[in-house]
Amino acid sequence: MTHSFGYSISQSRETNWDKLDHRFADKLLDLEPSVRLCVGCGSCTGTCTAAPRSGFDIRKVHTRFRRGEAGAFVAELEKCMFCGKCSMVCPRGVNIRNVMDLMKKLIEA
Amino acid sequence: MSTIPTHTFPLFVVPFLIGLLFISVWLLFLFLKWIGELDRNGLVKFGQNILTKKTLRAIGEVFMESLLHRKLFRKNPLLGYMHMCFAFGWFMIILIGKLEVIAYSGKITARPYVAIFFKHFVSPEEKFVRSGMYSFLMDFFLLMILSGLFLAALKRFRSKTLGMTHTTRHNRIDRWTLAFLWLIFPARFLAESIASGSEGYSFLTGQTGRLLASFLPVQQMEIPFWWIYSIALFGFFILLPFSRYMHIPTEVAYIFLKNWGLDKRRVNRGFTNFEIYSCSRCGVCIDVCQLKTQAGIGTVQAVNFTRDIRSGSLCEEDLKNCLMCGRCNEACPVGIDITLQKQMYRGQFARFDKNEFTYLNTPTPAEQSTVVYFPGCMSSLSPGIEQSMVKIMEQAGEDFKVLGDEQRACCGRPMLLSGNTEAAQKLIAFNRDFILSSNAKMLVTSCPICYKMFRENYQLPIPVLHHSEYLLQLAETGKIEMEKQQLRMVYHDPCDLGRGSKIYDQPRQLLQQAGTLVPSNFERENALCCGGSLGNTKINQASKDKITKHLVEELSAPNPELLATACPVCKRTIARHSSIKVMDIAEVVAENIRKKTIQPNVKEEFESLLK
Amino acid sequence: MTNKQTQFPIAVIGSGPAGLAAANTLLALGHQPVIFEKEKITGGKLSRWHQLFPGFISAAEIQEQLIGPLKKASVKISTETEVKTMKPDSGGLEIETASGEKIIAKGAVWASGYTEFDARRKEEYGYGLYKNVLTSADVEEMLAKDGKLPFDSADVKRIGILHCVGSRDEKVGNTYCSKVCCICAVKQAIEMKKLYPSAEVFNFYMDLRLFGKGYEELYREAQMDWQVNFIRGRVSELAEDQQGKIRMKTEDTLTGVPMKMTLDFVILMVGMEGKRFSFLSENKNTDGSDFISYPENFTGENQTALPNVMVAGACKGPSTIVDAMNDGKSAALALHQYLISQAEK
């Protein structure tokens, strides 16, 4: 179960690109191409309504997902309140709420 | 021609009887099944209200909407007339036909097909009580239907004449059903005309009959034409449940359920079915949808949604690509609450419903105050709104506290709109406790999204006010006064405040105290969506921009000096594309508030001291 | 050259670095430049700046170097004269000013400069609402005027500098990089440390784009000699507390956690925006900006839709002062070459 992974203990020590499963990430980029525009500025996390209390970091979660570590942060996604502020501030126009939705969809599938 | 006894059984009535039997049994079975699917609450309402005045009201509504099509008339008189011809005309033909049979036979127990094929049984020479009047009325309503048919044919080929830019495409079953429907009345008309022969019933069938009899062997043609008429009815009745014309019986049932007060806010399969199948697929919702008209997205409109549900091909991508602005709800002649339906169906694709929000344990109690001000998440991206509210409330001498953005949670409406009902409930529970811990007498919010949520889903024991209502109250009670400026303003109705919560007048009254309001082409119920809607999780930035640019064009058309709105999302979205200054209503008030030198009560004290 | 043509001057529109450099070059090439300046004073944005990156050279000094030779040669500079439009004329070019005056010139260098991004459009930063939020332009002007900022050094413990305000931001409609803000932010951070030695200075950035000569060195200097802190995270929101202090929210992207900080005052590094002049370019820029578009073909980068009008400086896109001056010279030379080729025909 993905829920048993803690936030910090489950992180792998390195990103071994050769061994990671990139299918989920590729699918995500396919379904929501705007995610490619992310420059990792952190505006989304900075404005996030859930972040101050929960430490939820959408930028990091989505980056790990794109690196091929799809399952590692799934429990994190459950902190999101879906308020939409992230999408409102993103300087690159990434449809972040759809990215959230799709990440969950891909993991659950 | 001679009269045939009404107890005879001509063979051509068989198709009609089979059709009638089929549709009666089918509808009965289906409606009972749906009623069985109602939840407990729905069943209770059903039982409680069936024998009340509400039923009478429903009958009235059925008459006005299902028969006369009042709402369609308002949209386009020609389109309304066309529908009225079919619905009201047909209804009258059935009703008068029945009365005619009763008048003729003196009994009410005549076989059901006698009224339908009356002119086969009774020759024009045979007179009975008011037979002339009956003949006349039957002809009159037949003519009415035929005129509607003419318009319908016109609409098929030139839909713009009837005020529709986009219309729906029929599927194969729809086309067959339509063909049978169109065949019914011309067939009846010809059959009756031929049956009247050279004698004639009334002005329409009589005259035509005489004309036909003058050059055709009408005697031999009568039975074949009754067959055509009967088969047309048969075809229509058999196909109806599987076509868009299912809306005719369903809409009637839906109006009754609606009037009996069945709760639409619940996920209620039974009721949902009645609503979905009430859609006539008329396509009125297409022209009002900005996703279609501005962004060219044509697969997500209300008609597509109901069609996809009926055919079981609803896809997530389309379902989530909707601004939930409610413009289609306003336009729908049946009054289907599409946004609510979509919200419920989105539940099938809800992925955040298990969110526990464990980090939101128990709220730290809020500071005590009379008024508690909840700016909303989006207001923190537009801090001028909160700052203006604080300035105004301080000047008005209100006892208020602002709920800090790190203490409160999201109101839950974005979760609810995305179908995550359970998750929304958890956010509601948290915020509700937090708000009530302030022991406030009133909750004020600047965000229409939060406002709608508080009003409809929080069940708060204290009044909830949008800041436009609240500021108007302050102005009306003399707590604040505004300097009226030479300022031309256009007001933009936010979706959740206007169509969503029916707050149209308060913001306008307030703005009129600060300047002059000039109307745009899209006011009140007809207001456009800014495109920034939180209801849509699929739309891309480019499509949003198209919608916003069009809105800004429309708002700027009357050349105002200021665009005023009452929603932080609208404000940000509009400001991005507008060269005219955009302000929230609170900012307009704060900018034009008249400074009070002496508070009234202080003045009184001062005067009493002098005495 | 015919007599008829020599009797007309060459118009230079704008007296900023690009316009002044062009006028100087035209003068050196034997032409007679006349300068039109929309504002009351000459120098364009340069007249408002304090010290220039990367060497902290006084802006006034540079301006004097540019304008001195022109004054000496009695070049006519018409201030408060806005050029509305230009069209071809038998003498070369007919220039019409906003007041309706018509001047004939044999050619023109268009160097109308840029406009600063109006920071109020970035609502979440509260510019215009919070008294302790300034723009980079405000800081330059205050320093140029008084040599100080209106904050008492005893009160200033922490200063925030926000990069990319109005640049690289689809939400305000500017997707391009304004190019100079990063280095300007590094320069202003050092200036802040000079003014408030005991305060901490934090620069919040999404990328540092320090491409010019001496820029990277200044960055190192800011880190080592001035202890400026660089935090990688674009600031999401600023809020004002009751004391007027600024509460900042961002993500510290390098540690991957949300971050908040209280700041005594904040400087917004505002970007550059263009002004479109339809008679100069028919094409729209690929980035959707309002800068004047030009043929991006390496050799004709000063050309416009009119053959005897050359375009130069920051009206073409974000530009440093040095680049604007070089572009002004280049435009002057391109115009000179064109006029010679016409005379030979």
CA distances (Å), A90 to each of A38, B17, B521, B572, C255, in order? Answer: 9, 65, 32, 13, 20
User: Which residues lie across from B581 on neighbouring strands?
Assistant: B562
Contact A97 B537 (CB under 8 A): yes
Q: Does residue A6 register a pLDDT over 50?
A: no
Q: Does C121 touch chain A (CB under 8 A)?
A: no
Report d(CA B171, CA B176) in Å as an integer: 9
User: Which residues lie across from B371 on neighbouring strands?
Assistant: B400, B442
Residues of C in contact with A92 (CB under 8 A): 170
Residues of C in contact with A89 (CB under 8 A): 124, 171, 236
CA distance B282 to chain A (A): 31
Work out the burial of residue B503: count CB atoms within 10 Å of its CB; fewer than 13 is exposed, 13-18 middle, 19 or more buried.
buried
Which of A56, A81, A97, A103 to mutate to probe the B interface, most B CBs <10 Å?
Answer: A81
Least CA distance to C174: which residue of chain A?
A91
Q: Does residue B70 register a pLDDT over 80?
A: yes
The neighbour count for residue B461, using CB atoms within 10 Å, is 6
**CB C15, CB C325: distance < 8 Å:** no
The partner residue sitting opposite B541, judged by closest CB among C126, C170, C240, is: C170
Per DSSP, the three-state class of B465 is: strand
Report d(CA C136, CA C187) in Å as an integer: 11
Cα–chain center distance at C164: 14
Is there a common fold for B250-349 and B483-592?
A: no
Report d(CA B310, CA B242) in Å as an integer: 9
CA distances (Å), C308 to each of A35, B292, C31, C333, in order? Answer: 46, 47, 14, 12
Query: The tokens of C312 are what?
Result: 């130069």
The partner residue sitting opposite B534, judged by closest CB among A52, A84, A105, is: A84
The neighbour count for residue A9, using CB atoms within 10 Å, is 7
Q: What is the mean pLDDT of chain B?
A: 87
Q: Within 13 Å of residue A103, how many CA atoms lie on the same side as its CB?
A: 30
Q: What is the pLDDT of residue B151?
A: 86
Which residues does A contribute to its contact with B (CB < 8 Å)? 34, 47, 49-50, 52-54, 77-85, 88-89, 93, 95, 97-98, 100-101, 104-105, 108
Least CA distance to A53: which residue of chain B?
B359
Query: The tokens of C61 are what?
Result: 């000094």
**CB B565, CB B492: distance < 8 Å:** yes
Q: What is the mean pLDDT of residues B35-56?
A: 81
Q: Does residue A1 register a pLDDT over 80?
A: no
User: Using DSSP, how many helices (H) and how many strands (E) does chain B show?
Assistant: 29, 8
Kindly report the CATH number that applies to the domain delimited by C119-270. 3.50.50.60
CATH 3.50.50.60 domain locations along chain C = 3-114+274-344, 119-270
Q: How confident is the model at residue C47 (pLDDT cuts 50, 70, 90)?
A: very high
Q: Does residue C163 register a pLDDT over 90?
A: yes
Q: What is the pLDDT of residue B442?
A: 94
Which residues does A contribute to its contact with C (CB < 8 Å)? 39-48, 51-52, 55-57, 59-60, 88-93
- When comparing pLDDT for B196 and A34, which is higher? A34
Q: What is the pLDDT of residue B609?
A: 62
- When comparing pLDDT for B77 and C166, which is higher? C166
Torsion from C-alpha of B31, B33, B39, B42, nearest 10 degrees: 20
Residues of A in contact with B410 (CB under 8 A): 49-50, 81-83
Contact B352 A78 (CB under 8 A): yes
Report d(CA C46, CA C18) in Å as an integer: 10
Of 1.10.287, 1.10.3470, 2.60.40, 1.10.1060, the CATH number of B250-349 is 1.10.1060
Q: What is the pLDDT of residue C37?
A: 96
Cα–chain center distance at B37: 23
Q: What is the pLDDT of residue C308?
A: 93
CA distance C175 to chain A (A): 8
Work out the burial of residue C150: count CB atoms within 10 Å of its CB; fewer than 13 is exposed, 13-18 middle, 19 or more buried.
exposed
Residues of C in contact with A44 (CB under 8 A): 236, 251
Q: What is the pLDDT of residue B265?
A: 59
Neighbours of chain B (3+ CB pairs under 8 A): A, C
Q: What is the pLDDT of residue C6?
A: 57
Report d(CA B294, CA B549) in Å as an integer: 9
**Span B259-290, pLDDT tens digits:** 887 766 555 677 888 888 888 888 888 989 99
**Span A43-98, pLDDT tens digits:** 999 999 999 888 899 999 999 899 888 777 778 888 999 999 999 999 999 999 99
Q: Does residue B42 register a pLDDT over 80?
A: no
Under 8 Å CB pairs connecting chains A and C tally to 76
Q: Does B546 touch chain C (CB under 8 A)?
A: no
The partner residue sitting opposite B537, judged by closest CB among A47, A93, A101, is: A101
**Apex B462 CA angle, B460 and B467, nearest 5:** 100
The neighbour count for residue B124, using CB atoms within 10 Å, is 20
Q: How confident is the model at residue B204 (pLDDT cuts 50, 70, 90)?
A: confident
Work out the burial of residue C278: count CB atoms within 10 Å of its CB; fewer than 13 is exposed, 13-18 middle, 19 or more buried.
exposed
The partner residue sitting opposite B359, judged by closest CB among A53, A95, A105, is: A53
Q: What is the mean pLDDT of chain C?
A: 93
Residue ranges covered by each domain of chain B: 13-17+49-248, 250-349, 371-473, 483-592
**Span B530-581, pLDDT tens digits:** 999 999 999 988 899 999 999 999 999 999 999 999 999 999 999 999 999 9
Which of B68-77, B349-358, C213-222, C263-272 bottoms out in mean pLDDT, i.e. has the lowest?
B68-77
Contact C253 A47 (CB under 8 A): no
**CB C345, CB C7: distance < 8 Å:** no
Q: What is the mean pLDDT of residues C264-269?
A: 98
Q: What is the mean pLDDT of residues B426-441?
A: 91
Q: What is the pLDDT of residue C221?
A: 97
Which of C120, C122, C123 to mutate to probe the B interface, most B CBs <10 Å?
Answer: C123
Least CA distance to A97: which residue of chain B?
B537
Of 1.20.1330, 3.40.50, 3.30.499, 2.60.120, the CATH number of B483-592 is 3.40.50
Contact C172 B387 (CB under 8 A): no
Q: Does B539 touch chain A (CB under 8 A)?
A: yes
CA distance C270 to chain A (A): 15
Q: Does residue B506 register a pLDDT over 70?
A: yes
Report d(CA B76, CA B72) in Å as an integer: 6
Which of B367, B387, B530 to mutate to probe the C interface, most C CBs <10 Å?
Answer: B387
**Span B304-363, pLDDT tens digits:** 998 888 888 889 999 999 999 999 999 888 888 899 889 988 988 988 888 888 888 777
Residues of A in contact with C237 (CB under 8 A): 46-47
Q: What is the mean pLDDT of residues B410-427?
A: 92
Contact B575 C124 (CB under 8 A): no
Q: Does residue B4 register a pLDDT over 80?
A: no
* Sequence-separated (6 or more) residues with CB below 8 Å from residue B493: B499, B504, B507, B523, B524, B527, B565
Q: Does B576 touch chain C (CB under 8 A)?
A: yes
CA distance A96 to chain C (A): 14
Query: The tokens of B372 are what?
Result: 């508690």
Q: What is the pLDDT of residue B348?
A: 87
User: Which residues lie across from C103 on neighbouring strands?
Assistant: C95
Q: Where are the alpha helices (DSSP H) in B403-529?
A: 413-417, 421-436, 448-457, 467-476, 505-512
Q: How confident is the model at residue C3 (pLDDT cuts 50, 70, 90)?
A: very low
Q: Does residue B607 register a pLDDT over 70?
A: no
Neighbours of chain C (3+ CB pairs under 8 A): A, B
Q: Which amino acid type is present at position C133?
A: V
The neighbour count for residue C284, using CB atoms within 10 Å, is 11
**CB B554, CB B521: distance < 8 Å:** yes
Residues of A in contact with B364 (CB under 8 A): none
Of 3.40.640.10, 1.10.1060.10, 2.40.10.340, 3.20.10.10, the CATH number of A21-108 is 1.10.1060.10
Report d(CA C45, CA C27) in Å as an integer: 23
Of 3.30.360.10, 3.10.20.520, 3.40.50.1860, 3.90.1580.10, the CATH number of B371-473 is 3.40.50.1860
The answer for C 150-189 residues in CB contact with B (under 8 A) is 170-173
CA distances (Å), B64 to each of B60, B84, B334, in order? Answer: 6, 10, 11
Q: Does C256 touch chain A (CB under 8 A)?
A: yes
Contact B576 C237 (CB under 8 A): no
**CB B594, CB B392: distance < 8 Å:** no
Q: Does residue A2 register a pLDDT over 80?
A: no
Contact A89 C257 (CB under 8 A): no
Q: What is the pLDDT of residue C127?
A: 96
Which of C125, C253, C259, C261 to mutate to probe the A interface, most A CBs <10 Å?
Answer: C253
Q: Which CATH class is domain C3-114+274-344?
A: alpha beta
Q: Does residue C335 register a pLDDT over 90?
A: yes
Least CA distance to B405: which residue of chain C?
C239
Contact A52 B414 (CB under 8 A): no
Least CA distance to B532: which residue of chain C?
C171
Least CA distance to A107: which residue of chain B?
B351
**Span B360-397, pLDDT tens digits:** 877 777 788 899 999 999 998 999 999 999 999 999 99
Q: Does C224 touch chain A (CB under 8 A)?
A: no
Q: Does residue A9 register a pLDDT over 60?
A: no
The answer for B 154-193 residues in CB contact with C (under 8 A) is none
**Span B115-136, pLDDT tens digits:** 888 888 887 777 787 888 888 8
Residue ranges covered by each domain of chain A: 21-108
The partner residue sitting opposite A46, judged by closest CB among C164, C170, C251, is: C251
Q: What is the pLDDT of residue B536?
A: 93
Q: Does B57 touch chain A (CB under 8 A)?
A: no
